[in-house]
Amino acid sequence: MSARVEEIRLNLGHIELAAHVFGPVDGLPVIALHGWLDNANSFARLAPRLLGLRIVALDLAGHGYSQHRPVGASYHLADYVHDVLRVAEQMGWARFGLLGHSLGAVISVQLAGALPERISHLALIDGVIPPTAGEQEAAERLGMALQAQLRSDGKRKSVYPTIEQGVQARMKGMVAVSCEAAELLAERGLMPVPGGYSWRSDSRLTLPSPVRLSEAQAMAFTQRIQCPSCLVVAEQGLLARHTTLLEQLPFEQVVLPGGHHLHLNDEHGATLVADCFNRFFGFA
């Protein structure tokens, strides 16, 4: 197993993104997309274990070392999808695979459903569709989002006196991770500020979405996917309890022990996910 990693920056015209690159130059092209408030180090344990792939693991806009979106812009799913497509164009990849965790899995499904002819493989970890809402909730949701945007003006980020305290805060986040996982994310996520350290991620990422798809709209993306698709469901993750959703998906599904970040929390989980995906990509 080679852990060799290349750091690159990709100027997409409208934004500049940072990324880690793994694997042989002639490997099967794959773009890896991390989860909400994570960064490219989400794949630090998994990517070196994946065989035969040329992996570009992005810091999504507003995360890690990538730029934040301009003032007045938002972080809509369609904007992330556009970013990924621009990355593929810059890499010269007419057809490529997607490896996504959580939010990254949602983005991957959206792109694979929107432009199925561009995607060769779809490898997902504990994520498929975004949170959905009924049509009758649209106005109320927009109002809630607008109020949250106004309240966020001038709001300061949390400052942690030490890196260790920043890591502990990430361990206890909305989705808990192991200490080792939090340390890996902190390598690209924490930055020095007066008084200590803050997380680099754009604070606007925590604002509520002004628009949500209906369940029918979200599922329509899964039905348009044409490429081989494999979904890893974490036994103690976020998807396992959504049995009705899982039964509707036209994907190969593998249930593995571990939590939502099973590919990052420890070496054993990373190995289990890698074994699954190496078989899926045909390099086992």
How many C-beta atoms lie closer than 10 Å to residue 123's C-beta?
27
Mean pLDDT score, 88-94? 97
For the question of residue 120 being annotated catalytic, the response is: no
Nearest by Cα to 110 from 241, 249, 228, 217: 217
| 171 in Cβ contact with 178 (< 8 Å) | yes
Per-residue burial over 98-114, b = 16 or more CB atoms within 10 Å of its CB, e = otherwise: bbbbbbbbbbbbbbbbe
Q: E strands within the chain?
A: 6-11, 16-22, 28-33, 53-58, 96-101, 119-125, 190-193, 196-199, 229-236, 252-259
Mutual angle of helices 103-114 and 215-224, in 10-degree steps: 60
The model's pTM is 0.97
Query: What is d(CA 100, CA 206) in angstroms, rounded to the nearest whole number?
Result: 20
Dihedral sign (CA 89, 91, 95, 98): negative
Q: For residue 101, give the nearest of 74, 79, 122 by alpha carbon.
A: 122
Q: Which of 66, 102, 108, 198 is catalytic?
A: 102
Give pLDDT, residue 2.
46
- Tell me: the pLDDT tens digits for 33-74? 999 999 999 999 999 999 999 999 999 999 999 999 999 898
Residue 25 has what DSSP assignment?
T
* 223 contacts: CB under 8 Å, gap ≥ 6: 113, 250
pLDDT in tens, 135-169: 999 999 999 999 999 998 878 899 999 999 999 99
Residue range 185-224, pLDDT digits in tens: 999 999 999 999 999 999 999 999 999 999 999 999 999 9
Position 3 scores a pLDDT of 61
* 62/36 Cα distance (integer angstroms): 10
> Of 71, 64, 52, 46, nearest to 8 (Cα)?
64
**Average pLDDT along the chain:** 96
| Domains of the chain, start order | 6-130+215-281 (3.40.50.1820)
Count CB-CB contacts under 10 A for residue 41: 23
